[in-house]
């Protein structure tokens, strides 16, 4: 019999019950018992679904109040000393690690591999000790056992856990919590070699595995996704010792890898003393050959065959083509699973009452994916006729999708085919454009601007919510937003900023706003996935060829421009970011979809220019996070991603100024690609890294203009004039002043008007001081 299992299930609940329970616990209007009760009910439900779908084991250990990596910090008693907590954490202390407290800033947060999920980064010191606090896993194990399930606990493997942590020295640390909306992790490199910590970490794992054996566990899934990265050889070599040590302590181990190929380690992995290996055959199907050909006769191979990262219904016939020979070869040693944990997809498609039935029939969320596994199992064990009906339904949906006129737009295809070699190039080189733009814009030295959004006040949110519910009419809403624009423009004029923005009051979210107006996009009602902690996002679904039926921002921008003599910056989201923050169609390469989005944005750029807008910003905060996990794959990505950006930006005349904005501080390894965007001006985050990242730009001799953020918008602190003059002088030492702009690190939508007003006032004062010195 084929065994089916999942590497993990979304924990938030089909209705985001966990979010609501956690947040109400934080607000102190719910007791810890109530929170624990919700958590326990969610786990029961998720195990029950796994069982109902016919999974052979249910997965335990994928639950977390906040984050699974934080759970391991609790489990192995390695909270940073600076919190002063001791090895056994209360739930309250657990949350303090995640959110900070009066004395300590929170653990840093960063992206879990190439997903949009953020984990809390463990902090390791040379003297970090680990002390097992097993109840963080065993309580849940006992719950599942008491509910009568066959259980498979899941752990993050020691190699990955260490790799994901940050080695902290005594060096200065930036006291800021990370904000996941737009900003990546700080750049600080590891202060010491973490690998020797294994000697202290492994005994804690051994002890845990022994306790699991004592609790009746036969097999443990141990996740080592770090193996898909470019690891230093010493880390790879450590595998043998790690797994020899862990195997000696009891339960069988299923080593699981995902998000990429591990065939470069095939020989070593086949020989490890583990019971089996899980491979991601969705991301890296080609790696199978390296393993299947010589797979040891006593080992399980878990085929990650259902896409755990996307929301499309699987092509079951194609899965069976891969699986049937494997099944003949491996017999009962073939296991089936989603490619990775289902954490990255929404919970249950059945709730989507408003999605049209056709589109809905093309999709599968976590719960539906469990059923797909079950169909595959039955097809392999009992023969395809046993699941004739299910296969038929799946085939029909797939055929309908492939043929649907909603997906294929011949005009878009023709346009993509017709892209000429010059279409992703501006008419002239940068120097020529710079002259033309200076003549047209006539800006002072060190021009001041902002990144786009102004505070999204309660009034704005309420108006939008009322409009969406139909309680506020279209023209009333329009007027309310115009009033906001008017306010933002008059504030900026009073402050004396040079290039103004309209403030983005009409936008809920920088991707959703555009997705809602582009053809080829759909929106779900409950398609939430966890982003970090209690925060969830609902990514749009790109199901078909993308085009822009009508202008999306022109009227608002034109209105804003009509209120001022100063240049009004048009504000758009770039193709790579729209792609990166959506569920993307799987029937064509991502690069192709990016090209289509780029053409749609290009239309908007051209229309803005025709409407008299002289400065247009195309935001690409997700440009860097699209980078593949393996460096060898970077050039190809950077090539098509930069090209998509240029395609969106290059339809304009020389004297129209294109800006881009990226808010993270890791640039140096991709600077040539950033330069290849050929934006006239780039604004970036730098205040938190104290302008240090500019060194890279200086050395590289970044040719175009640059606005290094002079204040951290993530902090409620209002920066003083002197802080900003200091940063500006530092910037001017690296970048010639005639190419410098002055702006905050990112958009201001999360701040209040009072702080924004003072902060920008200080920014303008600092700029004026610097201008005197020029």
215 Cβ contact list (under 8 Å, min separation 6): 138, 141, 142, 145
Where on the phi/psi map is residue 771: left (φ > 0), alpha (ψ -120 to 50), or beta?
Answer: alpha
Q: Is 571 in the site for ligand GLN (CB under 6 A)?
A: yes
Binding site for L-methionine, by residue number, is 451-453, 504, 619
- Nearer to Zn ion (CB atom), residue 184 or residue 621: 621
Asked whether 319 and 303 are in contact (CB, 8 A), the reply is no
Question: Segment 437-466, which members bind ligand GLN (CB under 6 A)?
Answer: 451-453
Q: Has 659 been annotated as catalytic?
A: no
Dihedral sign for Cα 742, 744, 749, 753, please: negative
Question: Segment 181-200, which members bind ligand GLN (CB under 6 A)?
Answer: 182
Choose from ligand GLN, Zn ion, none: what does 510 bind? Cβ within 5-8 Å by kind.
Answer: ligand GLN
Shortest gap between Cβ of 77 and ligand GLN (angstroms)? 36
In the set 141, 663, 728, 764, which binds Zn ion (CB under 5 A)? 663
Strand (E) positions, 138-286? 151-156, 166-167, 219-223, 252-256, 276-280
Residue recorded with tokens 């950077």 = 638
Shortest gap between Cβ of 111 and ligand GLN (angstroms)? 14
Shortest gap between Cβ of 663 and ligand GLN (angstroms)? 5
State how far the Cα of 774 lies from the Cα of 772, in Å rounded to an integer.
6
State how far the Cα of 182 lies from the Cα of 129, in Å rounded to an integer.
33
- Nearer to Zn ion (CB atom), residue 12 or residue 746: 746
State how far the Cα of 322 lies from the Cα of 332, in Å rounded to an integer.
16
Shortest gap between Cβ of 632 and Zn ion (angstroms)? 29
Coil, strand or helix at 232: coil
State how far the Cα of 602 lies from the Cα of 596, in Å rounded to an integer.
10
In the set 749, 751, 763, 764, which binds ligand GLN (CB under 6 A)? 749
Q: Which residue is nearest to Zn ion (CB)?
A: 663
Shortest gap between Cβ of 747 and Zn ion (angstroms)? 6
Compose the 673-712 pattern: x for residues touching ligand GLN by CB under 6 A, - for all others.
----------------------------------------
Q: Is 503 in the site for ligand GLN (CB under 6 A)?
A: no
Binding site for L-homocysteine, by residue number, is 451-453, 504, 619
Q: Is 618 in the site for Zn ion (CB under 5 A)?
A: no
72 Cβ contact list (under 8 Å, min separation 6): 122, 155, 156, 161
Asked whether 196 and 124 are in contact (CB, 8 A), the reply is no
Beta partners for residue 521, in sequence order: 542
State how far the Cα of 245 lies from the Cα of 560, in Å rounded to an integer.
66
Compose the 159-198 pattern: x for residues touching Zn ion by CB under 5 A, - for all others.
-----------------------x----------------
Beta partners for residue 60, in sequence order: 153
State how far the Cα of 456 lies from the Cα of 197, in Å rounded to an integer.
45
Q: Is 710 in the site for Zn ion (CB under 5 A)?
A: no
Choose from Zn ion, ligand GLN, none: what does 53 bind? Cβ within 5-8 Å by kind.
Answer: none
Shortest gap between Cβ of 511 and ligand GLN (angstroms)? 10
In the set 306, 510, 599, 652, which binds ligand GLN (CB under 6 A)? 510
Compose the 616-645 pattern: x for residues touching ligand GLN by CB under 6 A, - for all others.
---x-x------------------------
Q: Count residues contacting ligand GLN (CB under 6 A)?
A: 14
Asked whether 2 and 327 are in contact (CB, 8 A), the reply is yes
Helix %, strand %, coil % for the chain, to 5?
A: 45, 15, 40
Q: Is 713 in the site for Zn ion (CB under 5 A)?
A: no
Beta partners for residue 532, in sequence order: 535
Catalytic residues: 714
Residues that bind ligand GLN (CB under 6 A): 182, 451-453, 504, 510, 571, 619, 621, 661, 663, 746-747, 749
Residues that bind Zn ion (CB under 5 A): 182, 621, 663, 746
């Amino acid at each position: 019999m084929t065994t089916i299992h999942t590497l993990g299930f979304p924990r938030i609940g089909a209705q985001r019950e966990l979010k609501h329970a956690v947040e109400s616990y934080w607000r102190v209007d719910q007791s810890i018992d109530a929170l624990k009760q919700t958590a326990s009910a969610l786990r029961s439900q998720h195990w029950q679904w796994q069982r109902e779908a016919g999974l052979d084991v249910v997965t335990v250990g994928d639950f977390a109040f906040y984050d699974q990596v934080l759970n391991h910090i609790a489990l192995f008693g390695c909270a940073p000393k600076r919190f002063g907590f001791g090895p056994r954490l209360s739930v309250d202390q657990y949350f303090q690690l995640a959110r900070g407290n009066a004395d300590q800033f929170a653990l840093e947060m960063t992206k879990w591999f190439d997903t949009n999920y953020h984990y809390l980064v463990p902090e390791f010191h040379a003297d970090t000790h680990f002390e097992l606090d097993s109840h963080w896993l065993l309580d849940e194990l006992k719950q599942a056992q008491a509910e009568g399930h066959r259980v498979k606990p899941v752990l993050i493997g020691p190699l990955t856990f260490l790799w994901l942590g940050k080695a902290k020295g005594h060096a200065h640390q930036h006291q800021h919590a990370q904000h996941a909306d737009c900003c990546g992790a700080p750049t600080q490199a590891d202060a010491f070699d973490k690998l020797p910590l294994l000697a202290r970490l492994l005994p804690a794992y051994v002890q845990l595995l022994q306790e699991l054996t004592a609790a009746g566990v036969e097999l443990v899934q141990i996740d080592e996704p770090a193996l898909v990265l470019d690891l230093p050889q010493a880390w790879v070599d450590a595998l043998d010792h790690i797994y020899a040590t862990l195997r000696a302590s009891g339960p069988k181990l299923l080593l699981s890898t995902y998000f990429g190929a591990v065939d470069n380690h095939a020989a070593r992995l086949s020989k490890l003393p583990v019971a089996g290996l899980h491979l991601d055959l969705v991301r890296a199907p080609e790696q199978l050959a390296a393993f299947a050909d010589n797979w040891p006769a006593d080992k399980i191979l878990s085929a990650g065959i259902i896409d755990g990262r996307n929301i499309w219904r699987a092509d079951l016939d194609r899965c069976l083509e891969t699986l049937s020979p494997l099944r003949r070869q491996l017999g009962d040693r073939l296991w089936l699973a989603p490619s990775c944990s289902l954490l990255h997809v929404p919970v249950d498609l059945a709730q989507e009452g408003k999605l049209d039935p056709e589109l809905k029939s093309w999709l599968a969320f976590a719960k539906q994916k469990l059923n797909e596994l079950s169909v595959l199992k039955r097809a392999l064990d009992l023969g395809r006729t046993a699941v004739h009906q299910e296969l038929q339904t799946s085939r029909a949906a797939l055929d309908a999708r492939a043929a649907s006129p909603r997906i294929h737009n011949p005009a878009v295809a023709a346009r993509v085919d017709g892209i000429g070699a010059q279409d992703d190039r501006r008419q002239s080189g940068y120097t020529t454009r710079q002259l033309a733009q200076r003549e047209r814009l006539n800006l002072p030295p060190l021009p001041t601007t902002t990144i786009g959004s102004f505070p999204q006040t309660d009034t704005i949110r309420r108006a939008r919510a009322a409009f969406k519910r139909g309680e506020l009419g279209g023209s009333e809403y329009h007027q309310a937003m115009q009033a906001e624009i008017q306010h933002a423009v008059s504030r900026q004029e009073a402050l004396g900023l040079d290039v103004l923005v309209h403030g983005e009051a009409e936008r809920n979210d920088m991707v959703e706003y555009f997705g809602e107006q582009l053809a080829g996009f759909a929106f779900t009602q409950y398609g939430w996935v966890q982003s970090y902690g209690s925060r969830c996002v609902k990514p749009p679904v790109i199901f078909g060829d993308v085009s822009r039926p009508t202008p999306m921002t022109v009227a608002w921008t034109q209105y804003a421009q009509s209120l001022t003599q100063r240049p009004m910056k048009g504000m758009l989201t770039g193709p790579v970011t729209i792609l990166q923050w959506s569920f993307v169609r799987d029937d064509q390469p991502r690069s192709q979809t990016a090209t289509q989005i780029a053409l749609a944005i290009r239309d908007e750029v051209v229309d803005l220019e025709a409407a008299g807008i002289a400065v247009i910003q195309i935001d690409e905060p997700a440009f860097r996070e699209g980078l593949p996990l393996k460096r060898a794959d970077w050039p190809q990505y950077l090539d098509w991603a930069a090209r998509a950006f240029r395609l969106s930006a290059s339809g304009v005349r020389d004297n129209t100024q294109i800006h881009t904005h990226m808010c993270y501080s890791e640039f140096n390894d991709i600077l040539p690609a950033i330069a290849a965007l050929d934006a006239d001006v780039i604004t970036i985050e730098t205040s938190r890294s104290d302008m240090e990242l500019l060194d890279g730009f200086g050395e590289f001799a970044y040719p175009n203009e640059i606005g290094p953020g002079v204040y951290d918008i993530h902090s409620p602190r209002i920066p003083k004039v002197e802080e900003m003059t200091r940063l500006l002088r530092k910037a001017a030492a690296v970048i010639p002043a005639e190419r410098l702009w002055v702006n905050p690190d990112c958009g201001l939508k999360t701040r209040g008007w009072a702080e924004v007003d003072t902060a920008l006032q200080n920014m303008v004062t600092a700029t004026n001081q610097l201008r005197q010195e020029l």
